[in-house]
Amino acid sequence: MAKISLLLDTDIFIDYFNTGRFHTLFDSSRFTVYYSAITKKELLTKPGLRDNERASILAELAQCRLITLSDSITTRYSDLRRQHPSLEKGDALIAATALVKHLPLMTRNKRHFQIVPGLTLFGE
């Protein structure tokens, strides 16, 4: 069976860390989980984050694949921000990452991303 590659929005990680929801994505060898540099920043800069929480986040992220910023991602980000000024900066960066890397995006906030043409969305 072919692996399913997904870019996860920050909210999916948060739900997983807080409630264990979406554990199948993280615990199954059927999925290759990618995340954006902005997701790492959002997770690790949460106010009041304790050292043990930070360590848990870093350990889980180490099992996933980080997509770093590239010229093509930042260019696509700029285009998205210009075309859709209502799109939040973090969401635009995650959408740009998904588009450039040709990855479907899993999010609980589909309404944030529905305005982005060509973006494949999974979630609620």
The model's pLDDT over 89-109, given as tens digits with 9 standing for 90+, comes to 999 999 999 999 999 999 998
The confidence score (pLDDT) of residue 28 equals 86
**Mean pLDDT score, 20-30:** 88
Q: Residue 110: left (phi > 0), alpha (psi -120 to 50), or beta?
A: alpha
pLDDT band for position 1 (cuts 50, 70, 90): low
CB neighbours of 46 closer than 8 A, spacing ≥ 6?
Answer: none
Q: Are the C-beta atoms of residues 20 and 49 closer than 8 Å to each other? A: no
Q: Which domains does the chain have, with CATH numbers?
A: 4-118 (3.40.50.1010)
